[in-house]
Chains A and B, each alone.
Chain A
Amino acid sequence: MLARLRYTLRETFDSFRRNATLTLAAVITAAISLLGVGLTLLSQHAFDNLLARWEGGVEMIVFMNPTATSDQLQLVEDALTAQSQFIAESTYCDEQCSLTEADRIFAGEPGVRDLLNEENILTQYKTVPTDETDVETLRLVSDAFSELPGVYDVSFAEDQISLISQLQSFFGFRLLMLSVFLLLAAILLIWNTIRTAIFARRREIEVMKLVGATDWFIRIPFMLEGLLHGVIGGALASVGLWAWNTQWTNGVQSFPDNSGFSALVVVDGYDKTVMLIMFVIGALAGAIGSGIAASRFLDV
């Protein structure tokens, strides 16, 4: 067992050395494509932060003063229930809930977030309209709430999110397409590198087969090599992603207050998840590329 492991590792690294140029090309392409995938995921998450308030089909939010009394809250609640023909659902987001949300919304402006506490945070009634309600109708009935005591303001999703969500889907889709094509190129490069490595060692493979080495024994060093291309690509992409995210987050903090983009950062550790995803995709790409090469070109 140990002898096998030693053999496998020796062969894998020998092959790396012999095939340095192709290996480098495969690894770099894998890294860039994975970085593309990673940045897509990361930016989508950042956009989601920006839209945190409006998750779950919320179209209208009634903001309550921090000083609103429970009677005033009850009044708003009753008014919302009375409009059940337009409003399918309304949920109260209390101080704690609103503070948690603020963690995301002010992720890029920790200074602002620190100023918020249970005493001064606006609480919210988040309302989801019924299917038939268009937002214009909702706007018409909204006067019924904005005049009530204790209400700070009423906001509509339409006014805030259309630009952002358009940007999000525009960039998200195109960046992802680009990454997928690059990833395809990476798989092809890995495939070609492994094929070349197999071809370079066809005499050895012929001898191995004649003395009775199993196909898997012959195949595994090559597959491991391809897997490593992918994993190393994932590691480089992780470094790139980390650098990118750090610099962007720092950059966002110097944006003017209320630029509207302060939430466009990822600070909640999601970047670690993305790195893991990049490693997994990288390993898969390597396994696919080398697996196809090893099963198709072993009959040399």
Chain B
Amino acid sequence: MIRLENVTKSYSADVVAVRDASFDVAKGEFVFLVGPSGSGKSTLLRMLNRQDRPERGAVWVAGRNIVDMPPGRVPHLRRNIGNIFQDYKLLLEKSVFENVAFAQEVIGRPPHVIKQQVPAVLELVGLAGKEDRLPSQLSGGEQQRVSVARAFVNRPLILLADEPTGNLDPATGEGIMRLLDRINKTGTTVVMATHDQRIVNTMRKRVIQLDRGVIVRDQARGVYE
């Protein structure tokens, strides 16, 4: 599903965010990216949906090398990839329902599909009954659930999560992890960057560890350190 081949990305001559990274992620896998702050986790995730491009190496996603993909094809790539962020990135003046529906609207899904799929996915993330609230009327955990619903509503092949539990207390974070686990069990490949030792250690999924842009460990059913 995802394959990196000798990928190097630097922001300037002395800031090399990712250095010569290679790995494979099979369809349906769940992968943690760990490493200290500034080790290149976010940069790596951003290269998977073409928010960033490496100077060297190849990034294969769903059978295509996306490094040289023409800009016109990028939207179609992204329709297969859901994104979750530490700060949720919700639209503050839109309701819960509208936030999720927005992800369908902007790729041209017809209203009857939206009316049917948005409530279903809100049910899945445990937000049934809160469709009309604004993000400001939700707890952090609930806001992150909205963002999970938005990432998942278009049934992506891949879900990229950048510290999705970073702003949440442990119990709430676990709730989000159970959700991601369920989504992973439907066959969606999940790649998640995190600092959260407890989560990594309890889930026992594959762990890829970065240090100053270099992959120093790639371990199946791994632990944080």
Contact = CB atoms under 8 A, between A and B. Distances in A.
Contact of A210 (B76, B78, B92, B111): B78
Contact of A212 (B71, B79, B111): B79
A243 interface: no
A217 B108 contact: yes
A210 B49 contact: yes
Contacts of B51: 210
B106 interface: yes
Nearest to B147: A207
Contacts of B71: 215
B143 to A, nearest CB: 14
A227 B84 CA distance: 36
B217 interface: no
A209 B106 CA distance: 9
B75 interface: yes
Contacts of B89: 203, 206-207, 210
A211 interface: yes
B91 A211 contact: no
A135 B91 CA distance: 77
B106 A211 contact: yes
B134 interface: no
Contact of B109 (A3, A206, A208, A214): A3
A212 B77 contact: yes
B150 interface: yes
A297 interface: no
B107 to A, nearest CB: 5
B49 to A, nearest CB: 7
A180 B130 CA distance: 55
Contacts of A217: 106, 108
Contacts of B49: 210
Nearest to B108: A4
Contact of B107 (A204, A213, A215): A213
B112 to A, nearest CB: 9
Contact of A208 (B106, B110, B111): B106
Nearest to B71: A215
A204 B91 contact: yes
B102 interface: yes
B109 A211 contact: no
A242 interface: no
B189 interface: no
A173 interface: no
B43 interface: no
Interface in B82-97: 83, 89, 91-92
Interface string B62-82: 000000000110011111110
A208 B75 CA distance: 9
A3 B106 contact: no
Interface string B103-133: 1011111110000000000000000000000
Contacts of B77: 212
B108 A207 contact: no
B154 interface: yes
A212 B76 contact: yes
Contact of A211 (B92, B107, B110, B111): B107
A3 B105 contact: yes
Contacts of B75: 209, 212-215
11 contacts: A3-B108, A4-B108, A207-B91, A207-B102, A208-B102, A209-B78, A211-B79, A211-B83, A212-B106, A213-B75, A213-B106
